Amino acid sequence: MKNRLEKQLNGFLNTPSLWENEFAGIQQFSLPLQIAVDSLNPLENLPSLQHNFVLGKRMESFFELLLQYSENYEILAVNTQLFREKITIGELDFLLKNLKNNSVLHIEMVYKFYCYDPSFKEENQRWIGPNRRDTLLRKIEKLKYRQFPLLFEAESREFLQEFNLQAENFKQLSCFKANLFLPKYSVKTDFSMLNKNCVAGYYISLSEFLTPHYKNQQFYIPQKQDWPIAPGYGDTWFPYLKILPEIEKNLNSKKSPLVWMKKETGQYERFFVVWW
């Protein structure tokens, strides 16, 4: 894929925040920055992108890059690992100084893909990762009860002394970006607290993919690091009978592949084929 890294960065930039202002007691951090992607030079500024292909870490790197170009913030520390008796007790994503008002911020960067599963009784339980190993509720609880409190541990306080700062001075926020996927034949959903602009596609079962609707289309299964990229940027497409074995292989391993589809009309869709 040509200019792949720039397309990934564009995908990050174009992914909306999962909520505005506050959700479940967590305030949202939005980076007000308008800049041309081709001027950011991601490989030059973040050489780790050449070998770190983990999606979450990649998105954190893009966030760091944007902060580097911001006139409003100074980066104090990034991905600070804290140890207790040589055992890692956690990591602080970003410590920043707001240069406009001299306030200090602790930001946890989150980038997620969630499917809406109506089989759960409670609405707040229904956003779940495509492979069912992660949920929005679990992540919110982790932020509130593990990641944010880490700032007040003795090890964090000792680290903050290097900057002449105290944990109590920090405002804690999350930059939480997400892509939401609804059932193909969507039931009524109520997620008024979340940003509906985060809806990026739908999900289906294998039996639904086997219906005639899909058989004359073109497909591509992107690598996970490419998931944020809009499907219109795909440059390699395969017919139905070529992509079906790859989808089945993923499902047999209990992996839900993200699929890009180019329709006969020239329009694009993206969806998960889920194993559950």
Q: Domain limits at 19? A: 4-184
Q: Which domain-ending residue is among 120, 151, 184?
A: 184
Q: How confident is the model at residue 31 (pLDDT cuts 50, 70, 90)?
A: confident
Q: Are the C-beta atoms of 179 and 18 separated by less than 8 Å?
A: no
Interval 15-26: pLDDT, tens: 999 999 999 999
40 neighbors 60 (Cβ within 8 angstroms): no
Look at residue 121 in the predicted model and tell me its pLDDT.
87
Instruction: Specify the pLDDT at position 86.
Output: 86
Read off the pLDDT band of 68 (50, 70, 90). Answer: confident
Least confident of 15-29, 127-141, 180-194, 198-212: 180-194
| Interval 91-122: pLDDT, tens | 999 999 999 999 999 999 999 999 999 999 88
Are 180 and 205 in a shared domain? no
Express each pLDDT in 138-165 by its tens digit: 999 999 999 999 999 999 999 999 999 9
Location of structure tokens 């979450």: 56
**60, 165: one domain:** yes
- Does 35 have pLDDT greater than 90? no
Claim to verify: residue 159 and residue 251 sit in the same structural domain: no
pLDDT of 182 > 80? The answer is yes
**Same structural domain, 118 and 252:** no
Is position 190 within any domain? no
Instruction: Supply the mean pLDDT for the chain.
Output: 92
134 with 212, same domain: the answer is: no
Binned at pLDDT 50, 70 and 90, residue 48 comes out as confident
Count the Cβ atoms, other than its own, within 10 Å of residue 267. Answer: 10
Domain end among 151, 184, 217: 184
Domain end, chosen from 160, 184, 208, is at 184
Tokens of 121: 């009784």
Question: 232 with 126, same domain?
Answer: no
Establish if 128 belongs to a structural domain.
yes
In a domain, 194, yes or no: no
Tell me how many domains the chain contains. 2
- Map the chain to HEC letters: CCCHHHHHHHHHHHCCECCCCEECCEEECCCCCCCCHHHCCHHHHCHHHHCCCCHHHHHHHHHHHHHHCCCCEEEEEEEEEEEECCEEEEEEEEEEEECCCCCEEEEEEEEEEEEECCCCCCHHHCEECCCCCCEHHHHHHHHHHHHCHHHHCHHHHHHHHHHCCCHHHEEEEEEEEEEEEEECCCCCCCCCCCCHHHEEEEEECHHHHCCHHHCCCEEECCCHHHCCCCHHHCCCCEEHHHHHHHHHHHHHCCCCCEEEEECCCCCEEEEEECCC
Asked whether residue 191 is domain-assigned, the answer is no
